[in-house]
Structure 1
């Protein structure tokens, strides 16, 4: 039998693969952009996001297990999925469109959705909310870094 954690983990993994939808010429554009000096931890960002998505999947699992199959849980799972899709779309869309503003907008939407999701599950599972904390902390940092990059590279924010 396929367990709910397997399905949630599998969907999380498949959506995360969407970040690989980038072309080499898009990365050349991104490498040439100026970055804030405090962004020295940039090489760790893939590891950080892996941790954040793993915590998000665990949060979704805990929420699902509280009332599997109910309409409320399906809606919450859709919200988890939407949050991940928007978060994963950040890099490929920003690079493909060569527009940092796209990243700022997607990052901002992700922050708002993350807060909404956390408030929506608060009455269901406190632990699930705690597992969303890495997203709620990291997503605004990433959005702020992108906003700073937009300031440093105004020609790339058209």
Structure 2
């Protein structure tokens, strides 16, 4: 089986795994106060799908370009860590009712994105550029979670 299919399957499992564990339609989450300017919440799932596709393509490129010398297991572990931290955001926030925990998971994933984008640049500039959507959205998502904490002091922990 080609590595690209394995990477895609693992990526999809992690992406949908977080969604299957919980639902952001949970009444507790839906009743949280949000900033007045957050009028585009309905497109956030599509933003994450785009980001996830970019990261998956980046991982495939890195694997295929570096597999000629040695398989980049450490880099793939970092891709997996980003995916895992991203996919546990919703279960942490909704199931554990911890906006703080979600902010930490999202912030760590974003930090790893910056590090990994830097590490893969010598292997493939294209793979590195594919981190850009996450690199832009990650800080915003972390900030938005921080705002939710500020707006929902009694509900957030």
TM-score normalised over the length of structure 2: 0.93
Structure 1 counterpart of 2:116: 117
| 1:23 positional shift | 6.0
**Alignment map for 1:40-79 (pairs within 5 Å):** 40-68=39-67, 73-79=72-78
Structure 1 counterpart of 2:133: 134
How many matched pairs?
A: 156
Structure 2 counterpart of 1:83: 82
Consecutive unaligned residues in structure 1, runs of 5 or more: none
Structure 1, residues 72-91: CA drift from partner, whole Å, max 9, x if none?
Answer: 61110110011000001001
Q: CA RMSD in A?
A: 1.7
In structure 2, relative to structure 1, the CA distance for the partners of 1:23 and 1:51 (3 Å cut) is closer
| 1:70 positional shift | 5.8
SS of structure 2 residue aligned to 1:38: coil
For 2:111 and 2:36, the matched residues in 1 are separated by 27
In structure 2, relative to structure 1, the CA distance for the partners of 1:110 and 1:128 (3 Å cut) is same
For 1:44 and 1:23, the matched residues in 2 are separated by 16
Contact 1:90 1:107 in 2 (8 A): yes
Which stretches of structure 1, 4 residues or more, deviate above 6 A after TM superposition? none
For 2:23 and 2:125, the matched residues in 1 are separated by 40
Is residue 100 of structure 2 the alignment partner of residue 98 of structure 1? no
Structure 1 counterpart of 2:12: 13
Bigger fraction of residues in helix? 1
Structure 1, residues 96-144: CA drift from partner, whole Å, max 9, x if none?
Answer: 1112111111111111111111111111111001111111111111111
In structure 2, relative to structure 1, the CA distance for the partners of 1:52 and 1:23 (3 Å cut) is closer
For 1:27 and 1:76, the matched residues in 2 are separated by 35
Consecutive unaligned residues in structure 2, runs of 5 or more: none
TM-score normalised over the length of structure 1: 0.92
**Alignment map for 1:22-41 (pairs within 5 Å):** 22=22, 27-41=26-40
Contact 1:39 1:145 in 2 (8 A): no
